[in-house]
Amino acid sequence: MRDVEEIARYPLSAQLAMCCANERDGFDMSKFIAVMALRIRGPLDSSALRGALDDLVSRHESLRTVLACDCDDDGEGYQSVLPPAPVPFTEQVLVPGPGESREDAAEELLVKLHAETMPRTETPLLRAVLYRFDDQDAVLTVLSSHLAVDAWSAGILRRDLAACYRARVRGETPELPPARSYGEYAAQQREGLAGERARSVRDFWKAELAGGQVFAPTAEEVGSADRGGAVYGNAVFDLGEREMGAVRAVARSVRSTPWHVLVAAGVLLAARVTGVPDAALMTNTAARDDRSFYDTVGFFADVLPLRVDLSGCVTYRDVLLSARRACLEASRHPLPHRELERDNPAFMRPRAQPENMMFLFNYARSVVGDDDIQFAGRVEQVSMRREMPLDRGGFCVWAMWDTPSGGLRGCFEYAPERLRSGTAERWTADFAALVSHLATHPDRPWRDDT
C-alpha cells in the first residue's frame, strides 16, 4: 500500500457522484449504512479483535475516505483518503430479556443496527460493538457507511477480519491478496467514459432502450385504514430446495444461471402488471468489470436495466433465452447508471412521474463463504428469521437471496401508502408460480398462464 501522505485526491466514481447528487436533493446520507452482525462462539481475544478492525482501515482506503460533494472546477466533487485511525470499539454485557433466547437477542441487535446512522464526514467509516453473553458466546456488530461498503465489499470485510484476527493471535502477517485502491477504480472509470469504447457502449444502450420504458408500476390509492400506520410493508416468499433444484437444472439445460430464470420470471410479472411486453427491470449489478478490483472494498454497486422483449417469445424457454441474452449483453456493456440516465431520458421518464413507483429487482449472492469467516470456535452471520421492512426512501425493493438449505427467500418491500398489501402478496405469489412454470414446464406457451 502506498504512503497515505503521497495520495492525491481522487475524482468521485459515478456511483459516489450520484450519492452526492441525492444528498443535494435532500437525502440524508448518514442513513445510507451497511450493517453486519456475527455470532461468535468460543474464546475470543478482544485485544486481537480490536487490532484486526484497525487492520481493515489500514488495508482498505475507502474506510478512511471523505467526500467533497460541493463541486470543484470540473463540476464533479472529489474524494480524499485520510491516514488510518482507530476504529471506535466497545464491549458490553448482553443479557436476554424475560422469555427471550440468545438468538432473539442477537436478532434484535441486528434490527436496531439498521436504525443507526453514520455521518460521511467522520472517519473511519466503521465502528463496532462486541456484546458478550459470556466468555464463550458473543455477538459482534459492525456498522459502516454504504458509501464505503457495498454487498460484495461486506463479504471481503468478513473474510479480511477473520484473517487479520487469526494473524494477530498467532503473531503472523495475514495472508491476503493485494487490494487496489477504490480511488484508482474511480479514476479508471472516469477515463473509461471517454474514447471509442465508451461511444460504442453508449450507442448500444441507446439502441437497446429505444422506444422502451422502465418498469415503474402505477401506485394505488391506499386509505389510512388499509396501511395501518406502517412505515414500510413487506411480502415474503420462499422457494424450497426442490424448487430451486429444478431452477438450476433448467438453467443448465440452456447454459444459463438461476439469475436468468429469476429475471425471466420478473419480466413476465412486469408484463402482467403493466401490460407492456418489454418493460425493463432495474437491477443491481456489482459493477466490478475489472477483476483486479475483486478484493477492493468500496461502493461499486450500480443499477442497470434489463429489457427483455417478449413479443417473439412463444414458450417459457424462449423467455429464458431472451432473458439470458439481455443479461449477457448488459454485462458486456457496463455503463454507470448516472450516464445511462443522462443519455436515455425518455426511457427513464416513468420513474420520474409521481403516480408511478420506483422498482428495484435484486438477487444478492455472497462472494465469501462461511468457511472464510472463521476466526474463533464458530462464527456465523446473524440473520433475521422474520423479515423486518426497512424504510427504502420511496423505492419498491424486490430482494432475493439464497438460503443455507439450498432454497431461495424473497422479500418485496413497498410503501404501504402507495400499494395495498393484498396486491403485494398477489405479485409475490404470481412470481413464485412463474418461476415454477419456467423450471418445470419450459416448453409450455407462457401466454397460457396469463
Residue ranges covered by each domain of the chain? 4-186, 196-358+394-449
* Mean pLDDT calculated for residue range 189-198: 87
Cell triple for residue 241?
A: 430446495
Q: Is the pLDDT of residue 272 over 70?
A: yes
Q: Among 178, 167, 420, which Cα is nearest to 291's?
A: 178
E-strand ranges in 151-271 read 233-239
Q: Is the pLDDT of residue 149 over 90?
A: yes
Angle separating helix axes 241-253 and 421-440, nearest 10 degrees? 50
* Mean pLDDT calculated for residue range 377-398: 73
Mean of per-residue pLDDT scores for the chain: 88
Minimum mean pLDDT among 1-15, 72-86, 194-208, 363-377: which range?
Answer: 1-15
pLDDT value at position 81?
A: 93
Q: Which CATH architecture has domain 4-186?
A: 2-Layer Sandwich (3.30)
pLDDT value at position 203?
A: 95
pLDDT value at position 2?
A: 43
pLDDT value at position 73?
A: 46
Minimum mean pLDDT among 160-169, 245-254, 283-292, 314-323: which range?
Answer: 283-292
Residues of the chain with pLDDT > 90: what percent?
A: 64
Residues 243, 144: Cα–Cα separation, whole Å: 35
pLDDT tier, 369 (very low <50, low <70, confident <90, very high otherwise): low
Q: Among 331, 244, 261, 394, which Cα is nearest to 269's?
A: 261
pLDDT value at position 405?
A: 84
Provide long-range contacts, Cβ within 8 A and 24+ apart, for 438-441. 438/247, 438/250, 438/261, 438/264, 438/265, 438/316, 438/319, 438/320, 439/243, 439/246, 439/247, 439/249, 439/250, 439/261, 440/246, 440/250, 441/316
Q: Is the pLDDT of residue 4 over 70?
A: no
Q: Are 31 and 146 in contact (CB under 8 A)?
A: no
**Could you tell me the fold of the domain covering 196-358+394-449?**
Chloramphenicol Acetyltransferase (3.30.559)
Is 196-358+394-449 the same fold as 4-186?
yes
* Mean pLDDT calculated for residue range 137-141: 96
* Mean pLDDT calculated for residue range 329-346: 92
Burial 53-83 (b: 16+ CB within 10 A, else e): bbbbbbbbbbbbbbbebeeeeeebbbbebee
pLDDT value at position 129?
A: 97
Minimum mean pLDDT among 68-72, 129-133, 433-437: which range?
Answer: 68-72
